[in-house]
Structure 1
């Protein structure tokens, strides 16, 4: 049995995010944009491909994600600007930030679930940060080898969601991050924005 209406639940979840330094805006699930090209960015543009169970090829394809989105009417787009930890040229987003935003999203999903929105499901940000070493890197690994499947969720990009188009439709303009190559890696020219999604109803 639901404890709140959809609008009341969205307000509660939004307040939860803002109390933790982020922002959130309700969006229609049908407005979330998917694209087959997004997976190509993971395959050819990211060195995390196949290194985490929250990344392709272990994650849903864009078409599978579209089918999931079609089961929902209401969603909540969540964002955090900047970082809560120390970054290095080798790591553009701190481990603390990854764990922070993923903890917030898991808590959001649990809150909605316990409030009676049993379909709640989150798409988090960054590569999975629950384990220090992911067994996805081992030969013959399958997703059921994941030690944190209860909490692990794919990022929006990993599931084929066009984050830029989805944010633009919600009134959030995202800029392309500029990086400068330095010894040992890169540094960001501006703070990173982490965008995540909670499917509610």
Structure 2
């Protein structure tokens, strides 16, 4: 039995996000968009592919994610602007920011679960930051080797979710992130927007 109605729970979770510096909006789970092309971007566009258990090929495929989304009615889209730590050309997003948003999404999922929404599941932001070194990089690694599976969750894009289209469905417009190449790496031309998702039911 839930402690709150879905409306009350979504409001409670939204207030928690805003209290911690973010923003959130309710979206029907059917409006969360998946696409096979998203996984292609991970395979051919991201140097994190296969280096974290929260990334492909360890994460659900877009079709598997769609099937999971179809088990839900409501979701909460969460966003944060900027960074809470210091970035460098070698690291576009600080370790502090990664840990901050991933901790918050874990807390959100736990809140919903303990309020009786036992199907609650989150999709976080960035590559997993729970361990300093992920054993996914080791030979013959399998996801059950992960030391933080209770907390570790895939990002939206790692699970095949079209973040841009999903945000548009929620009334949020995202701009393509632009970067400049500098000595030693890359710097952002404007603050990054981190977008995450909590399924609530």
Regarding TM over 0.5, the answer is yes
Q: Quote the Cα distance in structure 2 between the aligned partners of 1:119 and 1:179.
A: 38
Structure 1 residues 99-118: Cα deviation after superposition (integer angstroms, max 9, x where no partner): 00000000000000000000
Instruction: Quote the residue 1:69 is aligned against.
Output: 69
CA distance in 2, matches of 1:149, 1:71: 22
Q: Distance in 2 between matches of 1:176 and 1:32?
A: 19
Task: Tell me, in whole angstroms, the C-alpha distance in 1 between the residues paired with 2:149 and 2:139.
Answer: 19
Match of 1:198 in 2: 198
Distance 1:11 1:177 in 2: 30
Partner of 1:92: 92
Distance 1:140 1:86 in 2: 35
1:45-73 C-alpha deviation (Å, 9 max, x unpaired): 00000000000000000000000000000
**CA separation in 1, counterparts of 2:2 and 2:162?**
31
Deviation at 1:143, TM superposition (A): 0.0
What is the aligned partner in structure 1 of residue 172 from structure 2?
A: 172
For these two proteins, the number of residue pairs brought into alignment is 201
Look up the SS of the partner of 2:194 in the other structure: strand
In structure 2, what is the Cα distance between the partners aligned to 1:126 and 1:70? 24
Matched, 1:125 2:125: yes
Query: How far, CA to CA, are the matches of 2:73 and 2:125 in structure 1?
Result: 22
1:40 maps to 40
Q: Quote the residue 1:183 is aligned against.
A: 183
Tell me the alpha carbon deviations over residues 18-54 of structure 1, each in whole angstroms, 9 at most, x when there is no partner: 0000000000000000000000000000000000000
Using the TM superposition, give the Cα deviation of residue 164 of structure 1 relative to its aligned residue in structure 2, in angstroms.
0.2
TM-score (norm 1): 1.00
Runs of 4+ in 1 over 3 A off after TM superposition: none
Give 5+ residue unaligned stretches, structure 1.
Answer: none
**In 2, distance between residues paired with 1:178 and 1:198?**
27
Corresponding residue of 1:153: 153
Deviations 1:155-198 (A, max 9, x none): 00000000000001111000011110000000000000000000
Alignment partners' CA distance in 2, 1:31 and 1:57: 25
Aligned to 1:9, the other structure's residue is in SS state helix
Flag structure 2 segments of 5+ consecutive residues without an equivalent. Answer: none
